[in-house]
Structure 1
Amino acid sequence: MASLKVYGDHLSPYLTIVKLVLAEKGIDFQLVPISLFKAEQKTPEFLKLNPWGKVPVMEDEDGPNGKPLVLAESRAISIYLAKKYWDTGTPLMPDPSDPAATGRFNEAMLAEALYIDTPAIEVAVEKLIKLSRGLALNEVALNALRATLKTNFAVVDRILATRPYIAGDEYGLVDIFYTPSIHLLERSGEKDVMEGLEHLASWWAKVKSRKQTAHVTAEAHAAFDELMAMTKTANGTGEGDKTGASSKLQLPCESEDVCNY
């Protein structure tokens, strides 16, 4: 049995990040399913692992000094894994002895979290969750998010005009951090926010052609296909349950605690 456990749901874009890192490193792990539908990330048992009630969470039985380590937050997990398995698989971070490369990496990582992740996930929630349930879209909010993403992706495009990957000359963690956001935008029919950005398009073509990216995002696609099918059935737009049980499916992004990924 793998000494590394990852708790999460394939619907979570942040689980996708961790899975991409593990795939690039070729590390075996055990996925412990945490159902967002059932709000299992809010159970007392899970809150012992992560008091914030979010996925993913990593549990490494062979942590520092041979002691178990529990770690939350996808980017923190990713950096831990990239450093622990430095000499395994794809190098995903710059040499820490190179301060310029490390600074550029940190700059790019923070920019993704600040300027891309949040609006991209909010668009996906609006389009994939609300629309699938027949709920009214907030077009004012959507248009504002689209405008923000267009502006911010234009900056990314200018950066990519100067180097092949977002943080430097080699594929790495920052490229992985961008992947689920762009995947969700494409999935939700919002790729127009990247229209006309040739450097971004060239970079994305390279990233999504990686076999690790194709495999992991295919699992996310399958999870969203299942979500759509379940939603249609629960809302009476599919064949549905003839017994009349559960006329409405509870989704993870409907409550005040939006997008509990």
Structure 2
Amino acid sequence: MIDLYFWSTPNGYKVSILLEELGVPYRVIPVHIGKGEQFQPEFLAISPNNKIPAIVDPHGPDGEPIALFESGAIMMYLAEKAGAAGESFLPAGVRQRCEVIQWLMFQMGGVGPMLGQAHHFRKYAPETIPYAVDRYTNEATRLYRVIDKRLSEAAFLGGAAYSIADMATYPWLRAYKWQGQDIEDYPHLKRWYLEVRGRPAVQRGLAVLEEKVDRSGAKPDGERWNNLFGSAQFDKH
């Protein structure tokens, strides 16, 4: 059974969705990032960058346990480990595989970091900085246009078939309003968004730790803000 170190963030959902799609048994180990649990030594031994998600597979490639952090690396590992079932989400053929991986890297290098900055400056920053709000809202718009154009040419990001690239990207687009976007402006993206959202495994993946999700919309403050965005990130752990 896979141990999934998880909190209810877009990067966490990427892995829970894939595990549900693969039907792989897993155990959720909550890491409450608002309480600073990501800085605990036992978690840092698994995820030295103090970020979720992370996994521990007690039966790694050589039969020994393996620990992995970075959601994209975790997704590739899980898809490959699953064999034939995983090949539907990360193809074995070089051309198709490269198509999927490049869009996974697009999410890892662009969608996640830039939309995360849009979230921060539009919703969480302690003061409004117009330059930052405009910069990251505009970058979100650009990325949405890239995705919309791609989905005008292919059914899914990696091509004709649903893949780990779609699973990685969808959780980040759920908060499109936070990013200053209107999904109605992107018809091809909207078609894809609704199709991915409707998958039963996606719904199950998004339900992980649902009881822990803060739906109040309140901005974190005090120790919680410090653990998420403040000096706790820069302390020596």
Q: Could you tell me how far 1:105 is from its partner in structure 2?
A: 1.6
* Match 1:144 to one of 114, 135, 141: 135
Cα gap change, 1:126 to 1:221, in 2 (>3 Å): farther
Sequence identity percentage: 22
> What residue identity is the alignment partner of 1:113?
M
CA distance in 2, matches of 1:103, 1:85: 19
* Match 2:202 to one of 213, 224, 227: 213
CA-to-partner distance for each residue in 1:146-204, whole Å, 9 max, x for gaps?
11111222122111111100111010100011012101334x37332x44221111111
* Match 1:250 to one of 204, 224, 230: 224
Do the aligned residues in 2 keep the contact of 1:20 with 1:213 (CA within 8 Å)? yes
Equivalent residue for 2:152? 161
The yes-or-no answer on 1:67 pairing with 2:67 is no
* Secondary structure of residue in 1 paired with 2:50: coil
> What residue identity is the alignment partner of 1:116?
V
The yes-or-no answer on 1:22 pairing with 2:15 is no
Equivalent residue for 2:113? 118
Residues 74-153 of structure 1 mapped to structure 2, 5 A cutoff: 74-88=71-85, 91-94=88-91, 96=92, 98-130=93-125, 135-153=126-144
CA distance in 2, matches of 1:66, 1:52: 26
Q: Which is further off, 24-33 or 120-129? A: 120-129
* Secondary structure of residue in 2 paired with 1:6: strand
Equivalent residue for 1:173? 164
Q: How many residues align?
A: 232
The yes-or-no answer on 1:198 pairing with 2:187 is yes
CA distance in 1, matches of 2:215, 2:130: 26
Larger radius of gyration: 1
Q: Could you tell me how far 1:74 is from its partner in structure 2?
A: 0.8
> What residue identity is the alignment partner of 2:224?
Q
Equivalent residue for 1:8? 6
CA distance in 2, matches of 1:5, 1:206: 29
Do the aligned residues in 2 keep the contact of 1:60 with 1:68 (CA within 8 Å)? yes
Cα gap change, 1:26 to 1:4, in 2 (>3 Å): same
> What residue identity is the alignment partner of 2:6?
G
Do the aligned residues in 1 keep the contact of 2:16 with 2:208 (CA within 8 Å)? no
TM-score by length of 1: 0.79
CA-to-partner distance for each residue in 1:24-78, whole Å, 9 max, x for gaps?
0111211111111221111222211122222111001111132111111111111
CA distance in 2, matches of 1:221, 1:126: 25
> What residue identity is the alignment partner of 1:208?
R
CA distance in 1, matches of 2:109, 2:67: 25
CA distance in 2, matches of 1:230, 1:151: 27
Do the aligned residues in 1 keep the contact of 2:79 with 2:86 (CA within 8 Å)? no
* Secondary structure of residue in 2 paired with 1:114: helix
Cα gap change, 1:155 to 1:189, in 2 (>3 Å): closer
Q: Could you tell me how far 1:137 is from its partner in structure 2?
A: 2.7
Do the aligned residues in 2 keep the contact of 1:24 with 1:90 (CA within 8 Å)? no
CA distance in 1, matches of 2:189, 2:211: 26
- The root-mean-square deviation of aligned C-alpha atoms, in Å, is 2.4
Gaps of at least 5 residues in structure 1 are 236-247
* Secondary structure of residue in 2 paired with 1:169: coil
CA distance in 1, matches of 2:102, 2:86: 24
Cα gap change, 1:99 to 1:89, in 2 (>3 Å): closer
Q: Could you tell me how far 1:218 is from its partner in structure 2?
A: 4.3
Do the aligned residues in 1 keep the contact of 2:6 with 2:31 (CA within 8 Å)? yes
> What residue identity is the alignment partner of 1:254?
F
Q: Could you tell me how far 1:15 is from its partner in structure 2?
A: 1.1
